[in-house]
Amino acid sequence: MLNKKMLMSSLSAIALTLVTNVSLALTPAEQKGLDISTESKKRDLGWQDSTADMLMLLRNKQGQESIREIKIKSLEVDNDGDKSLTIFNKPRDVKGTAFLSFSHPVEADDQWLFLPALKRVKRISSRNKSGPFMGSEFAFEDLSSFEVEKYRYKYLADEEVNGLMTFKVEQFPIDENSGYTRRIAWLDKQEYRIQKVEFYDRKNSLLKTLNFSQYKQYLNKYWRADVQNMVNHQSGKSTELQWSNYQFKTGLKESDFNRNSLKRVR
Amino acid sequence: MLLEKNKFKAAKIAPQLAWLSALFFTSAGAVEFDISTKLAVEQRYFFKDALYEQQFDHSQVSAFIESELYWSWNDGFDSIVFKPFYRVDSQDDNRQHGDIREFAYVHAADDWELRLGIRKEFWGVTEFQHLVDVINQTDGVEDFDGEDKLGQQMVNLSLVKDWGTVDVFLLPGFRERTFASEQGRLRPSLVVDKDNVTYESSAGQQHLDFAIRWAHSIGDFDIGSYWFHGTNREPVLTPSSTPSKLGEELVLQQHYNQMDQLGVDVQATLGSWLWKFEGIYRKTSDDSFVASQSGFEYSITGVFDSNLDLGLLTEYAWDSRGETDLGNSGATFQNDIFLGARLAFNDAQSSELLVGIGTDLDHSADSFLLEANRRFGDNFKASVDVRLLQSSDRFDSTYTLRDDDHAQVSVEWYF
């Protein structure tokens, strides 16, 4: 019943986007870019909720490493962006810090931070999309959930990446607070999984490249990469994300994503 | 069908079972345990000689340890936390002290939470003064910003409704504020007496305090409001003579009266702007007054084409009691303005710099603070703090601290 409702609502959402875009008279390349992105999102709907552990390895030019250990709980929300709870375990001085986010496709996200030393919950500005997450090469916007409405699209070409045939699609952020003029994403034709993304800064020069590897399929449907490697070409630094313990449909509810749970969560 | 029936039955008794297991059998396999500790060494240096005879002159070395032991079961819906703290100090006997910051059991359900034991509860939105924060007593010897708190015993029931969260607090066991000893810096000219404390309530420290708070997020607004009835956390300090080794000695005697307080806190988060307001109405047998702290925080991300974030803060404090002068015991922040800048470097070491100034618009009293910190390696953090205080108005509380300008370097080790 729930699945049916979700399918209906996602279908209507897709229909709506299509209708809106038709009225804007997209070029064939733009239409194809949008269709690919819509299909990619559609294939990842219905996971309901998930939990996962993330290890972040920050490397500077000299090869020195520092690590971040993070747990992420997410809840899929119909007709809106996901809700997520991010819990920090390492570095140890920020252990117990937690971050609650209600993301929205177009509007600004609602975000709260829990500071364990003061036991203080602070509502924070979500304007800082382009800023680095925990000093890493990932910006906040690189880690937020993918929503079709966040970009305009243009299909560029078919190319081979990581030994797979892919669609090469250019993505232009709608939000003026984005740190990028555009991104170029490569999605494999077989499963519509993102294989690689290039990020172009506000001056439109190549800033970063993100590579996805070791994809695994969960519940016979949802693909997640175990490793994401971001290289910053301008600073020479890089950050590798290593994901583990992915679990879906664990029974998380709305009540696991409020200020009380933010204060309690570990 | 049979399966369905059993499932129904199981669902019905499951909550009771969970509750029982929470209280009695913490089925060993499911209990998760975690311990983390913070060990810090601090060196303070006061630039000027002491103002009062018995005080130490320049250097103060101190160290503290704070551990957190955490047990959880039932998928984290039941937990116990124990957080002891102890500080040693080279100069100030009162600063050498210990406290149980937390020792509490928490049970969480879908739309309610019960929290029992010693805990810390913070309310408020502003940065330079925490007017509405009222549950825990200030651990005054820790630091003079008043942000360190003593653990408070409580029974706290939290109910999550569509129209907001309601928290009910029963607070037995009042804690007296901590003050610097005779040898300590950052104190008034007279020493605050730890003994001979008086209370308005005949129940004294055993008075059962009560608070109820509603908090809700509506769109861009986060709103909270509460009523507190019980022992005022702020003592009235009155000079009195007490017997000492040398005969009679003049000290400040602590008196805690009863109070009723209404509080409101609001934050509007609008793009890069955070608009903040805190207001209280307090009624005691001595007086009643209104006070507020309001202002904004504006953030600029990626300043100077870098990864740096700059936050600009402005806050204004007002108090209906007015300034303290001959014949009027007023408030410390009655017409004061605060300006601050926070620079976050967003580097791998999480380097941060905060600079703030406060000034009284009615009379001479200024303060300056600088806080800088960064991580070293994965488990160490170093901080530098500078505090400068100035006043030529002998009724201002800063006047007694005018020679207490100091810098502090601290290193914290997390393991």
Task: Show Cβ contacts of residue B181 under 8 Å, excluding neighbours closer than 6 positions.
Answer: B92, B93, B94, B95, B191
User: Is the Cβ pair B307, A131 closer than 8 Å?
Assistant: yes
Give which of B36, B154, B272, B346 to mutate to test A binding, by max A Cβ within 10 Å.
B346
Under an 8 A CB cutoff, do A253 and B110 touch? yes
- Closest partner residue to A264 (CB to CB) among B106, B121, B125 is B106
Domain that holds residue B186: 33-414
* Residues of chain B with C-beta less than 8 angstroms from the C-beta of A261: 108
**Site from A101, A128, A180 to mutate, B interface, most B CB atoms within 10 angstroms:** A128
Residues with Cβ within 8 Å of residue B246, at least 6 apart in sequence: none
CA distance A110 to chain B (A): 8
Contacts of A259 in chain B (CB under 8 A): 165, 215, 217
Short-list A221, A227, A225, CA closest to A249: A221
Contact B222 A255 (CB under 8 A): no
Q: Tens of pLDDT along A159-197?
A: 999 999 999 999 999 998 899 999 999 999 999 999 999
Cβ–Cβ below 8 Å for B70 and A258 = no
Q: What is the pLDDT of residue B9?
A: 43
User: Chain B closest CA to A178's CA: distance in Å?
Assistant: 11
**Closest alpha carbon within chain A to B39:** A93
For residue B84, tell me if it sits in a domain.
yes
Return the closest-CA partner of residue B135 out of B176, B169, B179, B103.
Answer: B169
pLDDT of residue A105: 84
Task: Report which of B359, B17, B401, B344 is spatially closest to residue B179, judged by C-alpha positions.
Answer: B401
Residues of B in contact with A135 (CB under 8 A): 346-350
Q: Copy the structure tokens of residue A179.
A: 């740190």
Report yes or no on B295 lying in a domain: yes
Contact B348 A60 (CB under 8 A): yes
Domain boundaries, chain A: 2-264
**For residue B20, which phi and psi values (nearest 5 degrees)?**
-65, -50
CB of B265 within 8 A of CB of B277?
Answer: yes
The reply to whether residue A67 touches residue B378, judged by beta carbons under 8 angstroms, is yes
| B202, part of any domain | yes
The answer to whether the Cβ–Cβ distance between B269 and A265 falls below 8 Å is no
- Separation of alpha carbons B313 and A221, rounded Å: 48
User: What is the CATH classification number for the domain harbouring B132?
Assistant: 2.40.160.100
For residue B106, what is the nearest residue in chain A, using CA coordinates? Answer: A264
- Where are the strands (E) in B257-404, listed by range? 258-270, 273-284, 288-301, 309-319, 335-344, 352-360, 366-376, 380-390
How close is the nearest chain B Cα to the Cα of A122, in Å? 7
- For residue A93, the chain B residues in CB contact (below 8 A) are 38, 350, 375, 379, 381, 412, 414
> Look-up: residue for tokens 């520092």?
A66
The backbone torsions φ and ψ at residue B82, rounded to the nearest 5 degrees and listed phi first, read -130, 120
- Answer whether B378 sits within 8 Å of A130, measured CB to CB: no
pLDDT in 10s for each residue of chain B, 415 residues: 333 444 444 444 444 545 545 554 444 458 999 999 999 999 999 999 999 989 999 999 999 999 999 999 998 999 999 999 999 999 999 999 999 999 999 999 999 999 999 999 999 999 999 999 999 999 999 998 889 999 999 999 999 999 999 999 999 999 999 999 999 999 999 999 999 999 999 999 999 999 999 999 999 999 999 999 999 999 999 999 888 777 788 999 999 999 999 999 999 999 999 999 999 999 999 899 999 999 999 999 888 878 899 999 999 999 999 988 877 778 889 999 999 999 999 999 999 999 999 999 998 999 999 999 999 999 999 999 999 999 988 888 888 899 999 999 999 999 9
| CA gap B333, B359 in Å, rounded | 9
* Residue in B217, B298, B351, B352 to test binding to A, most A beta-carbons within 10 Å: B217
Nearest CA in chain B to A255: B110
Minimal CA separation from A147 to chain B, in Å: 21
- Interface predicted TM-score of the whole assembly (ipTM), two decimals: 0.89
Q: Do A92 and B120 touch (CB under 8 A)?
A: no
Q: Which residues of A touch B (CB under 8 A)?
A: 58, 60, 66-67, 90-95, 108, 110, 118-125, 127-128, 130-132, 134-136, 179, 253, 255, 258-261, 264-266
Contacts of A121 in chain B (CB under 8 A): 122
Q: Do B272 and A127 touch (CB under 8 A)?
A: yes
Query: Does B25 fall in a domain?
Result: no
Task: Return all residues near B394 (Cβ < 8 A) that are at least 6 apart.
Answer: none
Nearest 10 degrees: CA dihedral of B6, B10, B11, B17? 170
> For residue A13, which phi and psi values (nearest 5 degrees)?
-65, -40
Is residue B7 one of the residues assigned to a domain?
A: no
Q: Do A128 and B307 touch (CB under 8 A)?
A: no
Check if the beta carbon of residue A226 is closer than 8 Å to that of residue A216: yes
Taking an 8 Å cut-off on Cβ atoms, the answer to whether A91 and B378 are in contact is yes
Measured between alpha carbons, how far is B315 from B212 in angstroms, rounded to an integer?
27
Minimum-distance CB partner of A128 among B147, B301, B379 = B301
Q: Domain count for chain B, please give it.
A: 1
**B294 within domain boundaries:** yes
Taking the CA atoms of chain A, what radius of gyration do you get in angstroms?
18
CATH number belonging to the domain at A2-264, selected among 2.50.20.10, 3.10.450.350, 1.10.275.10, 3.60.15.10: 2.50.20.10
Which candidate in A235, A260, A265 is best for mutational testing of the B interface (most B CBs within 10 A)? Answer: A260
Name the residue facing A128 among B124, B309, B377 (closest C-beta).
B309
CA distance B184 to B400: 13
Per-residue pLDDT of chain A in tens (266 residues, 90 and over written 9): 445 545 555 555 555 555 555 556 889 999 999 999 999 999 999 999 999 999 999 999 998 999 999 999 999 998 888 999 999 999 999 999 999 999 988 888 999 999 999 999 999 998 888 889 999 999 989 998 888 999 999 999 999 999 999 999 999 999 988 999 999 999 999 999 999 999 999 999 999 999 999 999 999 999 999 999 999 999 999 999 999 999 999 999 999 999 999 999 98
Counting one residue from chain A and one from chain B, the pairs whose CB atoms sit within 8 A come to: 103
Q: Which of B110, B111, B301 lies at the smallest CB-CB distance from A130?
A: B301
pLDDT for residue A246: 96
Q: Do A125 and B273 touch (CB under 8 A)?
A: yes
